[in-house]
Amino acid sequence: MKVVLTRDVKGVGKANEVKAVSEGYARNYLLPRGLAIPATKEAITAAERHVMDSQKREERLRAESERVAEKLRVVPLVFQVKAGETGRLYGSITNKDIAQAISKVLGAPFDRRQIILEHPIRDIGIHLVDLKLAGNVAAQVRLVVEAEA
């Protein structure tokens, strides 16, 4: 029996895929739980349309993320913080601080969870920080940490 999956089903397939499953599995498990619907012509067409819409949305999201990544590659983020004579900061620069600086550059909110920072920055100098943007786009931003005068 052919069904269109409405949700991801482990071992069977992902949402909006047309799959051939045994009739008993479909009738007793997939259909009652709302995990699938019978594969009628209309259901198949709707699933294909949904997949195409998802792909277009993903492409737009990826293009936007690449635009953001390019903008962040060009513009370094400058932090002026209090530091000791040895170049050690009195505080630290965390992903929250970096997200606020990126938000100012972009003019839009930036989620701090997209910043990959193993430990807070505690030294003066130039640091490269990795970002993981939407659409599996990776980027790097350059931080210039200077001591306050």
Confidence of residue 39 (pLDDT cuts 50, 70, 90): very high
Among 58, 74, 92, the domain boundary falls at: 58
For residue 87, give its domain range.
Answer: 63-147
Taking the chain, what is the end-to-end CA distance rounded to the nearest angstrom?
74
Angle at 127 between CA 147 and CA 124, to 5 degrees: 20
pLDDT in tens, 40-92: 999 999 999 999 999 999 999 999 999 999 999 999 999 999 998 898 999 99
Shared domain check, 74 and 53: no
Shared domain check, 89 and 103: yes
13: DSSP letter? B
How many domains is the chain built from?
2
Percentage of residues of the chain with pLDDT beyond 90: 91
Q: Flag whether pLDDT at 148 surpasses 90.
A: no
pTM of the complete model: 0.72
d(CA 90, CA 121): 11
The CATH code of the domain that includes 84 is 3.10.430.100
The CATH code of the domain that includes 30 is 3.40.5.10
Among 10, 25, 58, the domain boundary falls at: 58
Among 37, 58, 79, the domain boundary falls at: 58
